Amino acid sequence: MNLQQVIKVAFKRFKTAFLTPSVTVEYPAVYKQPPHGSRVAIRNLFSECIGCHDCEAKCPMDCIKMNTEDFSKLDKVPKTAKGIIFEKKVTSFIIDYNECTNCGICVEVCPTQALSFDKNFIQPKQKQKQLILDLVHKPRSLRKDED
């Protein structure tokens, strides 16, 4: 390699290192919103979830199963931050991520914006049942005694 070629290679390296915009980010310090339809988790802010079942009814994959209870006469029926009165008490909110296509319909139809996409992707699991998560309770994936 002659001197001219060495300079050419050095300039190319310098240009790549310092003058070309980065195409990667330092995850998780820097975070980019995943594109629509990515396999991210769904988050439910239960202080805003009024138990209306709309998300469950509209899910095209039928992969949301929720259980609710009526408030007793002794309960003080809560309201959302915008003052919407809760319809039911949510006792479980199960999403089957084996079936969820991340279509976003549940997020769109939620009248209180309780549902949103999380920033974390669904981690692959060895067993299908490990991707069926009850968001009310601690997700199975976070348990130490996971089988």
Contacting positions for ligand SF4 (CB under 6 A)? 44, 49-55, 59, 61, 63-64, 95, 100-106, 109-112, 114-115
Rank residues 51 and 133 by Cβ distance to ligand SF4 and give the closer one.
51
CB of 16 to ligand SF4, least distance (A): 40
Q: Exposed, middle or buried: residue 25 (CB in 10 Å: 0-12, 13-18, 19+)? A: exposed
CB of 98 to ligand SF4, least distance (A): 11
CB of 59 to ligand SF4, least distance (A): 3
CB of 123 to ligand SF4, least distance (A): 16
Q: Which of 79, 69, 76 is nearest to 49 (CA)?
A: 79
Rank residues 26 and 41 by Cβ distance to ligand SF4 and give the closer one.
41
How far, CA to CA in Å, does 49 sit from each of 62, 86, 111?
19, 7, 9
Instruction: Count CA atoms within 13 Å of residue 113 on its CB side.
Output: 2
80 CA to centre of own chain: 21
Rank residues 51 and 131 by Cβ distance to ligand SF4 and give the closer one.
51
